[in-house]
Structure 1
Amino acid sequence: MTPPLHGITVLDFSRVLAGPLATQILGELGATVVKVERPGTGDETRGFEPHLPHGESAYFFAVNRGKRSVALDLKDPRGRDVARRLARTADVVVENFLPGAMNRLGLGYADLSADNPGLVYVSATGFGQTGPDRARKGYDTVFQALSGVMEMTGEADGPPVKSGVPVADLTSGLWVVIAALTGLAGRAATGRGRHLDVAMMDVQLSLHALNAARLFALDEDPTRTGTEHPGRVPSAAFEAADGGWLHISGSDQHWMPLCAVLGLDDLAADEELRRNAGRVAHRERVMDALRTAIAGRDRDPLVKELRTAEVPVGEVRSVREALADPHTAARGVVGGFDHPTEGAFPALRTPLRDTAGEPPPTVAPPLLGADTDTVLAEAGLSPAEIDDLRAAGVVGR
């Protein structure tokens, strides 16, 4: 079956994580992604830990699968000319330079859309194309801090902590995908492209949908609550007798089955606790009883009983345990690829599934500049022109 983005070409000027994740997703949904990298060093994540035996970066591998790499010096006017030539036949451009940087290179939306009116141009930056902080630099954890996400994460009596995954980068990458697909859908209707502005800070603030609702409704600035939910009881992680942890998140219909499994007859008999509002009002009493009951049971047998009673529950697993789970295997979440220097290497598949077809393939990330000659030849450059550019250091191998 033909993949949904077959025939779409993405010219990728992005580096590090959010942009490359987005273009990898677009590529695994069928687009041809041409990654433009600096000659000699490439995307800086090629140097990030952890390194594999032959020097490649597993970090780079995680978000650059299936792309074509062109080593091109954008500081050289001849390199910029080549980039403009590549953009003439691209459907989507993704870039994550500071606002104005691409304009100064003659590679901004106005420049490239003049030759390609249908171009969808996505700028992914920390603070967006407008506003007083537009030139401010930042990284994932900086956005977690500034947005309030870090303040909301951790135990109530402990310090703020970062998320266990780079949530700012990853969620912003998904919004870059949404932006690209939105632009393509709009182009299909109008024939024209557009410039789409994705700010990582905006994305993090959007994650506060429920926190903001509480602030707007109650004028209450939400604070961190550990694994507990501020508006639902029970919804928290509990330690079992064998040291394992499990997380229960239940609504009113789960309350009586939960009490039955745990033998909490006194709580079950309390009419006020049958509604969530009552349990929230008596949070301390309810949570103390649940912690005591669960602390006397081993985790896995208890999880089995709760699942039989249809109480929403999950074991708190390590990454290794989660990836080795039989359901994970049955869904084919972990794929792999053969790399030209590192050999066979596992990879997490793009999670979108077409029920009528195979899951998106996992294709090896490119060596730096591996596709330079092929891509430039497809753009109409002659072998002699490519050789001259290489001799001048404008393109790499």
Structure 2
Amino acid sequence: MQPGAAADDATLSGLVVADLSRVLAGPLVGATLADLGARVIKVEQPGTGDGTRAWSPPASATGSTYFDSANRGKESVVLDLAEPADLVLARELVARADVVIENFRPGAATRLGLDRDALLAEHPGLVWCSITGYGTQAGGADRAGYDFVLQAASGLMHITGDADGPPTKAGVALVDVLTAKDALAGILAALLRRGRTGRGGLVEVALLSSIQAALVNQLQAVLGPITPEGTPPNADAAEPRRAGSAHPSIVPYQLLATADGPLAVAVGTDGQFRAFAALLGVPTLADDPRFATNRQRVAHREALVPLLETALAADGAVAWEERMLAAGLVASRVRTIGEGLELAAAVGLDPFREVRGAAGVGRQLASPIRIDRDARTASTAPPLLGEHDASVRAWLSQPPPTASPAPASAARAPHRGAP
């Protein structure tokens, strides 16, 4: 939530989230729920806390900027589940929570004393989100899920990189990030159902499934097209390969060289290509039968790209970007992350917020989700390890709040209430 916004005005105000997860996918879900106004209590192990606190440089007062990226707006309590008294508190936290997020290996939570199925039966309004690497079935349950390895295992790395170069990972933990978004969608859907029925339930997301869903057209190319019943499968089904920045089905839709650096050009229609060719000063390219339609441009990509780059060599990437935008075409020079933030600010997206907490003060990326034109981003800094031990333990040691019964037809408030 933005600094100054009233807590009870936040979208998920009153919702209590027990974040038992660590590293990135699960914590990102918790951070987004905190952005939307939920009270998120992060349970960390004694001594080290979330392992990402040690993933530096860059360092931060909390341990690392890696940890900071996924833990804004949360409270941190240290609980040792091997200690009976702390296990009691963990179970009480689950009892008072509306949502539980965990990414233990399958079966690990039960061994630690948090039997998911038993807790769901005991608390039927609870939404429990379980994130795994490869699912819970035989052959997958015992495999640990790490983003880098999932990029290789899923096929993402196979299609990333230059055509004549080695497989390359994405520049960020894309599998974890996309899995977090899938998990968030599942949690919100389960909460919506709970509002209608009073019943929570289990949300399961696997890293492998999420990244495969994110492969969209590339994966569908392997599955093949839809064909009329009774006809043989279309021979167009194919295994995609690395192609650098080029698109398999659209040309030009890739980086093109200019006089001083690459320019990302996205020309999605034949009309756009005609306008692009005119802007470059080579309008006859649009009349060339090799390039007149997108299908023909894809077939003759290797002939077309050098012609476009010869024309682009007349000026630099910044100048061409400005000309293309003025002409209603889509292009961008390759910016650094810092320059990308400058662009976001320039177009009015207000990309970051100042946050404060016991760790100090700093900036965090604003939530990309805007409701009623407001990006409700958590205003408290990521917590120090165990920063909220005293307050959370005191709350869990008190009798739970009593919720007033609501008509069955009414949308349910958070089923155990926030303090």
**Alignment TM-score > 0.5, same fold:** yes
1:223 aligns with 2:241: yes
Q: Does the 8 Å contact 1:109/1:195 carry over to 2?
A: no
Matched residue count: 380
User: What is the deviation of 1:363?
Assistant: 1.7
Deviates more, 1:137-146 or 1:126-135: 126-135
Among candidates 81, 86, 89, match of residue 82 of structure 1: 89
Change (3 A) 1:280 1:16: same
Deviates more, 1:61-70 or 1:123-132: 123-132
Residue number in structure 1 paired with 2:334: 316
User: What is the deviation of 1:91?
Assistant: 0.4
Give per-residue Cα distances to partners, 1:76-111, cap 9 Å, x unaligned.
Answer: 232211111111111000000000111222313222
Residue number in structure 2 paired with 1:331: 349
Q: Does the 8 Å contact 2:290/2:300 carry over to 1?
A: no
Structure 1: runs of 5+ lacking an equivalent: 383-397
Give per-residue Cα distances to partners, 1:150-208, cap 9 Å, x unaligned.
Answer: 00100111110000111011111111211211211121122111111110011111112
Counterpart secondary structure, 1:325 = helix
Residue number in structure 2 paired with 1:340: 358
Matched to 1:325, the amino acid is L
Deviates more, 1:257-266 or 1:105-114: 105-114
Residue number in structure 1 paired with 2:194: 187
User: What is the deviation of 1:18?
Assistant: 0.6
Residue number in structure 1 paired with 2:285: 267
Tell me how far apart the structure 2 counterparts of residues 116 and 247 of structure 1 sit (CA, whole Å).
52
Q: Does the 8 Å contact 1:129/1:197 carry over to 2?
A: no
1:101 aligns with 2:108: yes
What root-mean-square deviation, in Å, do the aligned CA atoms of Structure 1 and Structure 2 show? 1.8
Tell me how far apart the structure 2 counterparts of residues 47 and 213 of structure 1 sit (CA, whole Å).
39
1:351 aligns with 2:375: no
Matched to 1:309, the amino acid is A
TM-score (norm 1): 0.91
TM-score (norm 2): 0.86
Among candidates 16, 26, 29, match of residue 33 of structure 2: 26
Counterpart secondary structure, 1:20 = helix
Change (3 A) 1:175 1:369: same
Residue number in structure 1 paired with 2:308: 290
1:300 aligns with 2:318: yes
Deviates more, 1:373-382 or 1:246-255: 373-382
User: What is the deviation of 1:52?
Assistant: 3.6
Q: Does the 8 Å contact 2:55/2:66 carry over to 1?
A: yes
Counterpart secondary structure, 1:68 = strand
Residue number in structure 1 paired with 2:185: 178
Among candidates 261, 269, 275, match of residue 257 of structure 1: 275
Q: Does the 8 Å contact 1:334/1:349 carry over to 2?
A: yes
Counterpart secondary structure, 2:371 = coil
Residue number in structure 2 paired with 1:121: 128
Residue number in structure 1 paired with 2:215: 208
Counterpart secondary structure, 2:170 = coil
Q: Does the 8 Å contact 2:344/2:350 carry over to 1?
A: no
Q: Does the 8 Å contact 2:179/2:205 carry over to 1?
A: yes
User: What is the deviation of 1:263?
Assistant: 1.4
Change (3 A) 1:31 1:359: closer
1:248 aligns with 2:265: yes
Residue number in structure 2 paired with 1:197: 204
Where does 1:11-90 land on structure 2 (aligned, <5 Å)?
11-52=18-59, 54=61, 56-90=63-97
Deviates more, 1:23-32 or 1:69-78: 69-78
- Percent identical among aligned pairs is 38
Counterpart secondary structure, 1:330 = coil
Tell me how far apart the structure 1 counterparts of residues 283 and 51 of structure 2 sit (CA, whole Å).
59
Tell me how far apart the structure 2 counterparts of residues 164 and 212 of structure 1 sit (CA, whole Å).
21
Tell me how far apart the structure 2 counterparts of residues 246 and 300 of structure 1 sit (CA, whole Å).
8
Structure 2: runs of 5+ lacking an equivalent: 1-5, 226-235, 400-419
1:373 aligns with 2:390: yes
Matched to 2:363, the amino acid is P
Counterpart secondary structure, 1:225 = coil
Q: Does the 8 Å contact 1:353/1:360 carry over to 2?
A: no
1:233 aligns with 2:251: yes
Matched to 2:46, the amino acid is P
